[in-house]
Structure 1
């Protein structure tokens, strides 16, 4: 049988096995049957490898054009901003699948393609811990899923979090802050996560292979040389022109990254379940994913092409080891099975509607006061 599912390897929070435990077994069996009946593997196909070549060539090609020093300042600025978008698309379409092991049954292929993450200034080892293990296991659980800790104290995504007066304006300033995500990732986030002893109060992060210490600093240094030192040496621009180009490149990248990830988990209908005092979530893991995850623009060819299947986040969370080119076929299976088990299948039909839903949730969470202890306990038991 194909191994298409996620098995959380480490946790302090526990998911109960009932009710609706048969949902996951059923949807896995039907997904296995789909691949078997069509005689296809759940990994990358020719279309996927074509996407990988396209996005890597676009990213590296834009870098080469800028570094050729054959263009004026405005043209290089435009290419730098476009390169920021391509950096996000490389992350979505190339690195993300590879780090999940979804490109190939051969581990070395996935590891090789995973190194593309270094090219955009990020660390694949740290991402595997924070995203593959922690986020995919503890999705939207306050205090455990650090992906919902966006600018703590400034942006309040979790309704159980304490409320600050300025957060009533967060629906206005959150989007510019999302643009800082990439700069934070390149200069701060990876170091911070790597040296934390525990990720999300759930994952022991105190031990790393010695090689990963080397990789963290060496590849970060190489990125700084390629994107800071060399441009300042080679390009016929002033230092302030370089700063404008570098910052705008990352603002574009950060905004694209931030919006795609927020629209998948922080929209109307998704939940932020609190563990009970015993550390339990009163649902099984798969049902929990259905209640905390949403799709957006599922029928948009452009969104599917650019976002690397992350617009079908439900299918991704249930089948993270399946390449995203197969998500449209799996979506029909997941939707039907969810309805049979009376589980939600949260979907915004367009990018604009998902954006509006996220905006309204930001506004709501910015004005609502924090839950009382009694309300938190109730949410822990009845968050559906």
Structure 2
């Protein structure tokens, strides 16, 4: 199963975990105490850039019956929607800029350019996901109720079609998120599923109608004779935004190394262990400043989960300190290119579409899900009492244990290959 004892899995003592939490608290204080003019200038510049791109794209689409203008307008509009979705909507609604007391950039006022109401998303994401991150059975973002992303979830025949469902989810990601958040809102308020005239349903219908009318009726009609090509441009821009947001989210939550946790772990979890769960349950994307910006700095998913309400433009400097702490406590810092992280997540999607009897690894020792039991089963010492290097006096942590575990598995496979193979014919003689 997934992790049931984060202390044992991380190869840290309670004192270590408390010390690590104090260092994370120090990072938070330092950033909060230095927020100021340069941060405000950053977010306002992003807003101006996003609006200029959207305006330029809308103007270019007046000539969208000519292919160059269609490409220009669609490209600018796609980029504007990505920036609005990732760096503005997502981060503003996390409260990252509430400290400015600017009503334009405040989590209580922002309504983003996608199907679901902001209030629905904030309840499902800010509270549920960031509180219960990667806890199987509590965090509905583990597969979004559509995909099986861990062997801790029982296989069902419907999972056979999840490679197809994954493509549908990517193309219509804003709708998938909106329906996911609507269900969470109705569950919170105790609204029966079949009560169609409920307040959450009305809120969803109103917002979805506005979005559909804006992108598929108003703006196409505004361009007159070019309405058909403008309509295809708007649909394309929405699809590009959806696929990009989907890819960023899946790369940050589902590659190898982004661990899953059990309800048992949560029930006894301390605040310090919450920090550790965020660290071990997330993955970063390496790619440079352009990728950082286009992901809304969610390329620093680890830092975002540790500090979801700190300004996103500060994540790069926070990341340097988090990596140093990982080295200090011998913890992994999971990161990789966008292509690598997505391919790992895609492999999990396709692999877990199959019944468990067709899979080799267990939920204790699979690339996408593991637990503290993996170390016991491979006879790697140090789960309860981590080994201390006699030369340096440094106690080995999770990173050292993972390397030892991998070496153990490689050695076991090599030994198995070298072992003499039995001759079936020999058993029939005599």
Range class of TM-score, shorter chain: 0.7 to 0.9
For this pair of structures, how many residues does the alignment match?
354
- Map of 2:134 onto structure 1: 140
- Map of 1:72 onto structure 2: 65
Alignment counterpart, residue 187 of structure 2, candidates 180, 184, 197: 197
Q: Does 1:287 pair with 2:281?
A: no
- Map of 2:90 onto structure 1: 96
- Map of 1:352 onto structure 2: 339
User: SS where residue 296 of structure 1 aligns?
Assistant: strand
Structure 2 unaligned residues grouped into runs of 5+: 8-12, 192-197, 375-397, 399-430
Shift of 1:315: 0.8
8 Å contact kept, 2:259–2:370? no
Shift of 1:105: 0.9
Shift of 1:288: 0.6
Shift of 1:93: 0.8
Q: Distance in 2 between matches of 1:227 and 1:76?
A: 18
Q: Rg bigger for which structure?
A: 2
Q: Distance in 2 between matches of 1:380 and 1:360?
A: 20
Q: Which digits, 9 at most, give the CA deviation of each residue in 1:151-185, with x for residues without a partner?
A: 62xx3212212224675675677345312212445
Closer, same or farther: CA 135–242 of 1 in aligned 2, 3 Å: same
Shift of 1:135: 0.8
Alignment counterpart, residue 119 of structure 1, candidates 113, 123, 132: 113
- Map of 2:421 onto structure 1: none
Q: CA RMSD in A?
A: 4.1
8 Å contact kept, 1:273–1:379? no
- Map of 1:269 onto structure 2: 257
- Map of 1:8 onto structure 2: none
Closer, same or farther: CA 169–121 of 1 in aligned 2, 3 Å: closer
- Map of 1:361 onto structure 2: 348
Shift of 1:364: 3.6
Q: Distance in 2 between matches of 1:197 and 1:70?
A: 46
Q: Which digits, 9 at most, give the CA deviation of each residue in 1:220-275, with x for residues without a partner?
A: 44333322332454444698767644443332121111000000010011111122
User: SS where residue 89 of structure 2 aligns?
Assistant: helix
8 Å contact kept, 1:295–1:311? yes
Q: Distance in 1 between matches of 2:275 and 2:66?
A: 51
Alignment counterpart, residue 177 of structure 1, candidates 169, 186, 202: 169
Shift of 1:215: 6.1
Shift of 1:62: 2.0
Q: Distance in 2 between matches of 1:166 and 1:329?
A: 44
TM-score, normalised to structure 1, is 0.75
8 Å contact kept, 1:181–1:258? yes
Alignment counterpart, residue 154 of structure 2, candidates 145, 153, 162: 162
Structure 1 unaligned residues grouped into runs of 5+: 1-12, 199-203
- Map of 1:223 onto structure 2: 211
Alignment counterpart, residue 285 of structure 2, candidates 284, 293, 296: 296
User: SS where residue 99 of structure 2 aligns?
Assistant: coil
Q: Which digits, 9 at most, give the CA deviation of each residue in 1:303-353, with x for residues without a partner?
A: 1121111000111111111111111111111112233233332111x2222
User: SS where residue 118 of structure 1 aligns?
Assistant: coil
Q: Does 1:307 pair with 2:295?
A: yes
8 Å contact kept, 1:101–1:107? no
TM-score, normalised to structure 2, is 0.68
Shift of 1:81: 5.9
Closer, same or farther: CA 223–115 of 1 in aligned 2, 3 Å: farther
8 Å contact kept, 1:263–1:355? yes
Shift of 1:147: 1.6
